[in-house]
Structure 1
């Protein structure tokens, strides 16, 4: 395996496992408990992690979903560690990106447990802080396209957080969640392949 492309390979495998989980999910959503299969417009990703599907059947998707989610979170942890090394060593920004990114992914994975709500809250808080710092550095480095993509990713995260806690427009949250996940994948891969350590060092020195 080409070490240069470890991240994209890991993400592809993790997403493939999650897609398999949606295919074998027995059925049921909060909109209708009696549906069959995974409803992309009404099911949440977390429905794949429960021992029982919403329709009451044993959840055959669980092992696939947890495996895929674990791998995706592990890929993101590795990305945040790698990306933090590209930030100039002076100051605490590199450590904030590294440790808030790692923390966000650890708690995001723990959302598969019965403590889903509190884990999501902690993961969101750490993840938003990490993404904000990355956004600031991309703009300071004049990586404008990556900066704009960071803004879009942040806005989608804020939107998901607002809907989740306010319960307003809750009917669109399953779709927003999936759009947010796809956007985050594009953001992470774009930063991994589109931002070099030299970009940040040169702009900081200028």
Structure 2
């Protein structure tokens, strides 16, 4: 279905708006977090060095307190996943080469985000692994497509995101450098958010002024 330039302009900007709202609501969640982490269970407040991002989603903190931050964290996660589903849907339009792999990239990317929406304390590991498989597939197809279409900067940043993502998974499963994982997780998350923002900006730039 073809979109008018105005509708296209709005839809292509939704992912950036959603990611900004994610940052706002996750910041609110961090400010309202009572405290407690796996590294320091008795600490107060949210600490970048010790807390995982998913700590904010739990109904109770690690120290057993009611987590008043969880509602903000769930809203933030919703904004992030839904906005990135929109980005994965439209991302094939960025590339000049048309291939069936791009359709596969679209759906695996959307499935990764849809699965992440289900993230909770009871199913954390299962959801992370399933979303990780879908996300890795979509990411690798995107990287190949970026390389073939000569998006050099986006390709390099995407490779960095993939390396960081795989490092997170290895540390989580092997427990090597596990105490440092909260910091590594946030570095990875920041890099991935920036990559998605730049992908969306590239998509907007390609279709700026485009007439259907």
> TM-score with structure 2 length normalisation?
0.87
Task: Determine the C-alpha separation between the residues in 1 that align with 2:204 and 2:150.
Answer: 12
Cross-structure match for 1:139: 147
Cross-structure match for 1:204: none
Structure 1 residue matching 2:136: 3-state secondary structure: helix
Aligned runs of 1:1-206 on 2, under 5 Å?
5-87=13-95, 90-112=98-120, 114-195=122-203
Structure 2 residue matching 1:111: 3-state secondary structure: coil
* Higher RCO (C-alpha 8 Å, min separation 6): 2
Residue 168 of structure 1: how far off its partner (Å): 0.8
**Count of residues in Structure 1 that have an aligned counterpart in Structure 2:** 199
Residue 7 of structure 1: how far off its partner (Å): 2.3
Residue pair 1:66, 1:112 contacting (<8 A) in 2 also: no
| Structure 1 portions without partners, runs of 5+ | 200-206
Task: Determine the C-alpha separation between the residues in 2 that align with 1:7 and 1:28.
Answer: 32
Residue pair 2:37, 2:43 contacting (<8 A) in 1 also: yes
Task: Determine the C-alpha separation between the residues in 2 that align with 1:197 and 1:19.
Answer: 29
| Structure 2 portions without partners, runs of 5+ | 1-8, 208-212
Task: Determine the C-alpha separation between the residues in 1 that align with 2:199 and 2:24.
Answer: 22
Task: Determine the C-alpha separation between the residues in 1 that align with 2:98 and 2:196.
Answer: 23
Q: CA RMSD in A?
A: 2.0
> TM-score with structure 1 length normalisation?
0.90
Residue 5 of structure 1: how far off its partner (Å): 3.0
Deviation by residue 1:17-40 (Cα, 9 ceiling, x = unmatched)? 011001100000001111000111
Task: Determine the C-alpha separation between the residues in 1 that align with 2:32 and 2:200.
Answer: 32
Task: Determine the C-alpha separation between the residues in 1 that align with 2:150 and 2:99.
Answer: 20
